[in-house]
Amino acid sequence: MDQKNPHLSTPTAARNFGFFVDGQWRDGTERFERASPGHGTPVTRTVRCTVEDLNAAVAAARLAFEDRRWSGLSGAARAGVLLRVAEILRRRRDEIAYWEVLENGKPISQARGEIDHCIACFEVGAGAARMLHGDSFNSLGDDLFGMVLHEPIGVVGLITPWNFPFLILCERVPFILASGCTMVVKPSEVTSATTLLLAEVLAEAGLPAGVYNVVTGSGRVIGQALSEHPDVDMLSFTGSTAVGRSCVHAAADSNFKKLGLELGGKNPIIVFSDADLEDAADGAAFGISFNTGQCCVSSSRLIVERSVAADFEKLLAEKMAKIRVGDPLDEATQVGAITTEAQNATILDYIARGKAAGARLLAGGGPIDLGRGQYIAPTLFSGVSRDMPIARDEIFGPVLCSMHFDTVEEAIQLANDTVYGLAASVWTKNIDKALTVSRRVRAGRFWVNTIMAGGPEMPLGGFKQSGWGREAGMYGVEEYTQVKSVHVEIGKRTHWIA
């Protein structure tokens, strides 16, 4: 490493990580070695846990929930722990961002910004812990009083993906903790480091042992076992719709556990002729290139008004050609490496299929050779029809498909022409159009004249095959609770038996 700034070069040797159960670090006999997708050098070695390891983690989480070491605390006490986590994350921001970059391949500047968002998640979660409350019904007559309670659901299984290992983790953990639940986390095998670092942070902040447990390994073994585990009360999964469907089957075949699912997206960005086209082009370029397009809310379908389509696509192509693709540890890099070899191959295959289907390539269109690592140029296709695979499938890469419309109604129909409903944006200076489109396009998150904006105060989640439930904010805390109705009789009972 560079001694002046140890966070700007790769480590000289891969770092070994254990897994975390009941407040203790444990080791295993088999390990997975992860190479940096931006550099090709080994950076981490994590344990391939067994189902027995998972069972131990679930048992620890169960005991920690049942003895009320966490759920029995006041909201204020839980908030104090979450605020201390935020303070520690602020202190360790650069370190955590560094390991996120090494395993994921995202630019260092982006990773630091994501840690800032994670700090905000814990601060919002702390407030939510104090604000969580039920309701009362003083309308049942003089003889009966009613209360509605929010109680923590119990042990939560949390399965997180490789595209935003720490961000997606922190959009869930503080809100799960605010509700009073305990958890077992299974990060992606290729990006486990920062989930394990959070275990250190939580312990330092005073979280009781057994409340946060991390078990590493493959989705096929550990993820499946967690989905099926009969002593897990709720499963939160973020990933593909196909795997989300398997989680539904696993839950149904085990204990009918509650599910929270944030799944795939094929998100529209709708640009009207009266929009600020410079702003819209910059938003579109950002929306498809952020995190190399490996983003579930990535704006991958451009729906642009025909009268300005040619000019707008030219402007957008020029913008995309200027995006700085390079070494993720370079401060100037805007787009880093593709995270896995399999995803790299998938993206390139879709680009080839787009060309073969007759779509016109306006920008990018292939890999970038930087001597090491795997990189793909941000790509723009025009002349795309709605039946092309590049227009229908979630590519999960920096590939944007442009389609044209003439009327507001046609724009809405194109936007809704997908099995997904995760996110959408509209660009127009006409408030009538903005409100009409935002109310009629079926998506869980919507942006007007911006993209990927907002904070953890607002709920996250999708419509249709993009998932179930909501994360973040008060909705995200309530998601991890059960609602209980309590009836209290006042005074002498009127006897049924005389």
Q: List the chain domain ranges.
A: 15-263+466-484, 268-448
Q: Is 262 a catalytic residue?
A: yes
**Mean pLDDT, residues 293-305:** 97
The string of pLDDT tens digits covering residues 46-70 is: 999 999 999 999 999 999 999 999 9
Q: Which two tokens stand for residue 98?
A: 């560094």
Q: How far is CA 126 from CA 69, 78, 81, 299, 362, in A?
A: 17, 7, 8, 31, 47
Fold of 268-448: Aldehyde Dehydrogenase; Chain A, domain 2 (3.40.309)
* Residue 5 pLDDT exceeds 70: no
Q: What is the pLDDT of residues 126-137, one digit of tens each?
A: 999 999 999 999
How does pLDDT run across 142-191, given as a tens digit for each residue?
Answer: 999 999 999 999 999 999 999 999 999 999 999 999 999 999 999 999 99
CATH fourth-level superfamily of 15-263+466-484: Aldehyde Dehydrogenase; Chain A, domain 1 (3.40.605.10)
State residue 57's pLDDT score.
98
pTM metric for this prediction: 0.96
Residue whose C-alpha is closest to residue 272's, from 400, 432, 421 = 432
Distance CA 108, CA 331 (A): 6
The whole-number average pLDDT for the span 208-225 is 97
Helix (H) or strand (E) holding 463: strand 463-464
pLDDT above 70: residue 77: yes
CA 491 to each of CA 101, 144, 163, 463, 494: distance values in angstroms, whole numbers, following the listed order? 64, 9, 59, 48, 9
Catalytic residue among 262, 313, 394, 479: 262
